[in-house]
Amino acid sequence: MPPNVHLLDVNGPAHIFYEAREYGADIELHFVSMSDTSEIESSAGLFFSKLIQFNNFELSKNDFVFVPGLEYELLSDDTFIKESKPFFNWLHFQYTKKVNICSVCTGAFLLAESGILNNQECTTHWSYISRLRDKFPTLKLRKNKLFIANDNLYTSAGVSSGIDLALYILENQFGSKFATDIAKEVVIYFRRDESAPQLSIFLQYRNHLDSRIHDAQDYIAKHISKAFTIHDISETVNMSERNLTRLFKRTTGITIGAYSEKLKVERAIHLLSKKNKVEIVAQLCGFKSSDQLRTLLKKHKGVLPTDISSLK
């Protein structure tokens, strides 16, 4: 538990493991300070107290250490980094003993400071990828990944992806049904695995301030199951077709046609993962036939609907 910790980075995985314990899993939870203090203040102002000092623990390969994210300003504080050296040394030693080390969000920076991410595939929150790469160039950073599992090293993107990682660990430890039961208990009905992207296509390409293009994107999303033309969109946003086409590409970096295709692919994969029939999915995604859907999936994902189990 670092100072200025992000609450959901801690509470998300902690609650998943708490529920697993309630379901009978042999799990002990300990909340540990990475310094000699027993109390810290979170980034939201909520205090944690009665924390146990990290070096009180002798761990084994059956243990998991979760290092949650914290405010980036503290990660740039040389004094904090220097004072945390004993913790970094301890963490590195645990890793060499095959203890499972997990990070959530900017917790990856603390793992990197310990040296255990050197030449390792890893990830962090999408908005900190470039800063982590700049500070630690030997890392094999992967963008747009929810989490990456590599032997006894796990890194996740942050916030809700810490929950996904916790469920993944439960599945490996206690089986798929057990993990599914826990997901249902906490009202998570669409579990994401390590192949899922950090940002849904419904959120990508929206990092701009042009309200007309946002309106166009909203129109496409709302009419994904219907046939529409660029003229239909231009009428809605009060722009000429030519101007809309140019502005959409300049603002988002992608054409209207390509954006529409990506929306259809993501929706199709989600529907197919719910065991819907290919013909029904094709209809709901605005295709005239299931063959059109298969062609688009092969183009974007390299799979047929019959192989959709591999996508989860």
pLDDT tens-digit readout, 220-271: 988 988 889 999 999 999 999 999 999 999 999 999 999 999 888 888 887 8
What's the whole-number mean pLDDT along residues 133-139? 96
Tokens of 227: 């046939």
Task: Report the CATH fold assignment for 211-310.
Answer: Arc Repressor Mutant, subunit A (1.10.10)
Helix/strand/coil for 280: helix
The ranges of the chain annotated as CATH 1.10.10.60 are 211-310
Between 202 and 253, name the one with better pLDDT: 253
The ranges of the chain annotated as CATH 3.40.50.880 are 7-185
Helix/strand/coil for 231: helix
Task: Give the pLDDT of residue 170.
Answer: 92
Report how far residue 288's alpha carbon sits from residue 51's, in angstroms, rounded to the nearest whole number: 60
What's the whole-number mean pLDDT along residues 77-100? 97
Q: Is the pLDDT of residue 212 over 80?
A: yes
Task: Give the pLDDT of residue 311.
Answer: 47
Task: Give the pLDDT of residue 19.
Answer: 96
Between 153 and 184, name the one with better pLDDT: 153
**Could you tell me if residue 111 is left (phi over 0), alpha (psi between -120 and 50 degrees) or otherwise beta?**
alpha
Task: Give the pLDDT of residue 92.
Answer: 98
Report how far residue 162's alpha carbon sits from residue 87's, in angstroms, rounded to the nearest whole number: 21
Query: pLDDT averaged over the chain?
Result: 89
**Model confidence at 190, in pLDDT bands (50, 70, 90)?**
low
**Model confidence at 194, in pLDDT bands (50, 70, 90)?**
low
Q: Is the pLDDT of residue 312 over 50?
A: no
Which CATH number is 7-185's, of 3.90.950.10, 3.40.50.150, 3.30.300.30, 3.40.50.880? 3.40.50.880
User: String of b and e for 255-285 (b: at least 16 CB within 10 Å)?
Assistant: ebeebbbbbbbbbbbebbeeebebeebbbbb
Task: Give the pLDDT of residue 200.
Answer: 61
Q: In the chain, what percentage of residues exceed pLDDT 70?
A: 90
Q: Is the pLDDT of residue 302 over 70?
A: no
Report how far residue 166's alpha carbon sits from residue 50's, in angstroms, rounded to the nearest whole number: 24
What's the whole-number mean pLDDT along residues 81-90? 97
Task: Give the pLDDT of residue 265.
Answer: 87
Report how far residue 15's alpha carbon sits from residue 123's, in angstroms, rounded to the nearest whole number: 23
What's the whole-number mean pLDDT along residues 94-117? 97
Between 144 and 263, name the one with better pLDDT: 263
- Specify the range with the lowest mean pLDDT, choosing from 18-32, 94-108, 210-224: 210-224
pLDDT tens-digit readout, 164-175: 899 989 988 998
Report how far residue 91's alpha carbon sits from residue 99's, in angstroms, rounded to the nearest whole number: 9
